[in-house]
């Protein structure tokens, strides 16, 4: 019996992540959870959409974990922001209705 093939090739560089949430405790907990993943590197945190867009322009994260409801704009606005065309967005929300809006914008 042959060994099963890997689903994805191992990347020499860890995937980079930007955490965007208005709650400092949530950002901290998510960052702590990410420390357990060896091929993931948290490159930054942001508490607002404007800050997330600015940080993403500078750091070009591979993935953004974004709260849908931010103080200054929605997480959808962050994904549509300048410089985020190649970034994968993973939206977080306690409201299921946001899922329908998230898929068309690439979340």
Q: Report pLDDT digits (tens) over 7-45.
A: 555 657 899 999 999 999 999 999 999 999 999 999 999
- Comparing 77 with 103, the larger pLDDT belongs to 77
46 neighbors 22 (Cβ within 8 angstroms): no
- Alpha-carbon gap, residue 56 to 46, rounded angstroms: 10
- Alpha-carbon gap, residue 9 to 58, rounded angstroms: 27
User: Over 60: is that where the pLDDT of 1 sits?
Assistant: no
What's the burial of 67, exposed, middle or buried (CB within 10 Å: 0-12/13-18/19+)? Answer: buried
DSSP structure class, residue 21: -
Of 37, 23, 16, 15, nearest in space to 68 by CA: 23
The tokens for 30 are 């998510």
């Amino acid at each position: 019996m042959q060994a099963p093939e890997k689903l994805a090739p191992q990347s020499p560089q860890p995937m980079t992540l930007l955490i965007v949430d208005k709650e400092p405790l949530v950002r901290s907990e998510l960052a702590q959870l990410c420390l357990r993943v060896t091929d993931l590197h948290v490159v930054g945190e942001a508490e607002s959409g404007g800050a997330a867009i600015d940080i993403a322009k500078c750091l070009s994260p591979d993935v953004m974990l974004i709260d849908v409801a931010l103080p200054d704009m929605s997480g959808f606005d962050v994904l549509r922001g300048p410089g985020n065309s190649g970034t994968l967005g993973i939206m977080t929300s306690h409201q299921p209705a946001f899922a329908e809006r998230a898929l068309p914008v690439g979340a």
